[in-house]
Structures are given as C-alpha cells and as structure tokens.
Amino acid sequence: MTAVSMPESVAPDVTAPAWRTHAMLLGAATLALLALFWRDAAHMASIWWTSSTFNHCLLIIPILYWLVQQRWPVLRTMTPTVWLAGLLLVAAGSIAWLLGEAGGVSLARHLGLVLMLQGAVVTLLGRQVSRALLFPIAYALFLVPFGEEFVPALQTLTAKMAMVMLGWAGIPAHIEGVFITTPHGWFQVAEACSGVKFVIAMLALGALAAHLLFRRWGRRIGFIALALVVPILANGVRAFATIWYAERYGVEHAAGFDHVIYGWVFFAVVIAIVLVIGTRFADRDGTERVDAVPAVPERGGGAAWPAALALVVIAALPPAWLAMSAGRAPQLAEAYAAPAVPGWQLVASADAVPWQPHFAGSDSLRRFTYADPRGRRVDLIVAAFARQAEGREIVGYGRGALDSDHDWVWSGQEHALGDVTVARLIAPGAVREVASVYRVGSEVLADPKRVKLATLVARLLGRDQRSAAVIVSAVATPQQDAAQAIRDFRAAAGPFAALADAALETR
C-alpha cells in the first residue's frame, strides 16, 4: 500500500458540489459509451473471463479503484472542470474503433473503446484532476486484451533457446520450426508453451511496480524491460528442463513435470525474483505523493453538459457512418460445383493426419481433392463470404489454413511460388504446403495485411464486400514434391480469381 499525502494548507470538501456534478456527468457519459459499444465491452469481458492469457485483466479494474482511492485525499481538494482537449482523445478512440470495425480487427475496437472512456475522464474532470490521475488513466490501457499476435514469435524464440541449452547439456537435437526431435522423443513448443500469457501479465505487473517503486524514468523503463526479458528467458529454461527431464526419466513423465513446474513453482519464483530486484533498487520512500498542480479556474457545472453531449456524439458518429454505408448483403448462390481441372480428377479425401481449414461464419466452405495420373494429390478449398463482420472475417488469428483443433502447426517457413506465398505446416510425421489467395471485391490479394486493408476500405466506402479465400494444398511425401504439385495444379486450374468468382456468384 502507498499513502497519498494531502497538502495541509487546503481544506477538504470545498468543491463537493462541483465533484457531484462532474461525477454524475462522467457516469452518464460512461454508461452511454458502454451502451453504444456494448458488444465490444461484452467481448472484452468475455475474453478476460474465458481466456487464461487475459485472466489478469480481471484485476485491473480493482487496481484502478485502489489507485484512485489512494489519490482521493488530494483529488477532493481540486475543482473538476471541463477540458475540451479531452475530446481529441475521444475522437482518436472513435477513429480506432471505426478502423477496427471496418477492418475486422477486434484489438483496434477494444483499444478505441478504452480510449473513448479515458477521453471522457479527461474531458469531464479537467486538466488538473487528469494530471493527478495520469497513471490510473494510462494504466487502464491494460484492460485491452493484446499480445496474442506475439505467440508465433515467442514459440520460435522459446524453441531456439531450448535448442541452445540442449547443446550445452550435450543432448543431440534437431529443430524444425517449433518442433524439436531428440533421441528419446518428439516435442512441440505449442501456443500454450510460448509463455505469452505470463509475459503479458508480467508487463502489467511490471508497469504497476515500476510506478510504485521508482521515481526516475530510467529506472522505471529498466524495470519494465526486466519484467519482460526475465520471463521470456525463464520460459526457454522451462522448455529445456522439460526436454531434459524427458531424456533422463522418460517422455511419459515429462508432461506431469512440465505442468507442476509451469503452473505452481517456476514462474512464482520468477515473479519473486523480479520484485526482489525491483525493491532492492527502489528510489521511493514508501509514500506516494501527488505533486501540486497549478490551479485551474472553475468554469461552472453548466459547461460540462455540452461537453458530455459532444463526446457522446463524437463516439456515435463511426457506428452511424458504417450503418449508412453498409448497404444490403447480397445472397450468394447456394451451389458451388467442383471446378473441372484438365489432367486432374476428383477423388475422395484420405488424410493420414486430419486437416481442415477454418473459416468461421463463411457463407460457403467447400473442399475438393484432386489426383493426377501420376498419383499426386492436391486439395482445393474455397470459402466465400457475402459480407465480413465480427466472427466472420476472412483472415485473422485462428482463421485460414490452420485449424487449432487439429495437430498441424505453422513451421514458420515460407517461400514464394509465382505470385503467391506458400506456407509450410507440420504435424507428427507429416509436412503440408499451403498456398492461399484472397479476393475482396475486385481485388485479388495474397498478403493478409492487404486483405484487411481492402476490407476496411470496402466497408468505409460502402463498396462490394463479397470476399473469398482460395487455398491449394498438398502433402509432401517421398513420391510427391508438394510445391511442384501445387504449381502444376495451379497451371491447369487457371487463375485463382476465376475460382473465387465462381464462389461469389449471386442468386
């Protein structure tokens, strides 16, 4: 706990009427924002509750309350006022939400909502109060669920660190993507083993501890860096220890060892080490003081009503714009027949390792398997969307060629194949090459980032929002060069755009 010292020369409660007025308007504006964006607020709360990666977000609101309570003895001596500069923060949040909604990026929508709520505080409480509340206002950004974008990078980094330590330990090992093979086993650095959940939680803890323990910005930044680097390194040690334990005592015992060490011991020790280091170099004396803020002339409660109304109007403009530009979604044709491909004929699918692309909310999703006279087999997947929306995105985390319910994972290896990029998926004993192309409106694109941008522009301007994904995939075998099979199939099937167009025909 930290105590906030109150200037003795200022008597409390002299501004209670102003606080009641501005607090009432802030509460009303907050409820209005949550009502306007209730789906995003509910989505964030659902993520906090259901995703172990973001369970720590449930603690952020109580921490914010505690931080405000620590400052209340000083806050009650201040006079809340209207500061119209806060409307710029509201506008920035509304633009972020608009871009997120149009582009199907939930992170941008969540960030936009939090920015609008922060802007409401700054607008309706004023510069002086906002300065006293600067850290709690900024700390509210940790309400935004972010960080899953770093999972692939952390998986790869963890695997590489484990390989280095295995070399030090004299254990022969081979790495391919996030898979490590040793003489006694085959190990995968899965998404849950990337350490991302602990890194994100440590970032939130590190920011809070840096604020409470340090006054100098250099030490604060250094401590936050420590809070990020130590768990990343520790996760590499954990992965190595699991493999080492499997080599020494058997693979069947390694899973239980990993669960105990990861869940109950290892990272508790990491947290303790980081906090002990922080306490050792702390330059605060155990009390927290809100520095004196130059007085701001009171403007009266009446001016707050127009400001509250203005911020709600600014926030409501993006949803209104999208509603006007949305138009009516076309009805796609129900039947999508398998295209005829010269030199290739349809055959039954026979996956040694089950594989099924994931396109939640698509209006149609068809998979066809073709074989040529040489016995080569290629899969064609076509997913069509009349319109993209929340839960119906054509690209995004957990969408596309990889279904998290199956054993396939990204290997991190990609190579060019003509005008497309081919990604490599790997599973126990299997390698699959995947080429993906997307059509959004009239554009044919291979880069998922450009797909997001094209979707955003189409939604903002009310253009044709029909979109399709075309995937051509083949499994590498001793008898089949997967990349060459995909290349030959593409040459026979013709442009991907034509395959997409057939799926996007309307009734």
221 three-state secondary structure: helix
Contacts of 304 (CB under 8 A, 6+ apart): 21, 22, 25, 82, 124
Query: What is the spatial distance between Cα 224 and Cα 204, in angstroms, rounded to a whole number?
Result: 9
Using alpha carbons, list the distances in angstroms from residue 193 to 53, 81, 231, 246. Answer: 12, 49, 12, 16
Find which of 157-161, 273-277, 460-464 is predicted with most confidence, using mean pLDDT. 157-161
Per the DSSP assignment, residues forming a β-bridge with 181 are 174, 186
Query: What is the spatial distance between Cα 88 and Cα 123, in angstroms, rounded to a whole number?
Result: 9
pLDDT for residue 221 is more than 80:
yes
178-198 per-position pLDDT tens digit: 778 888 777 777 766 767 888
State residue 352 phi and psi, 5-degree precision: -65, -35
Contact 86, 19 (CB under 8 A): no
pLDDT in the model for residue 277: 83
pLDDT mean over 50-62: 90
Query: What is the spatial distance between Cα 120 and Cα 82, in angstroms, rounded to a whole number?
Result: 10
Instruction: Work out the pLDDT band at 291, boundaries 50, 70, 90.
Output: very low
pLDDT for residue 15 is more than 60:
no
Measure CA 179 to chain center. Answer: 24
Find which of 86-100, 424-438, 455-469 is predicted with most confidence, using mean pLDDT. 86-100
Q: Are strands 430-440 and 443-445 parallel, antiparallel or unpaired?
A: antiparallel
Closest by CA to 37, choosing from 26, 49, 45, is 45
Share of the chain above pLDDT 70, in %: 85
pLDDT for residue 425 is more than 50:
yes
Using alpha carbons, list the distances in angstroms from residue 359 to 166, 363, 442, 472. Answer: 38, 9, 21, 15
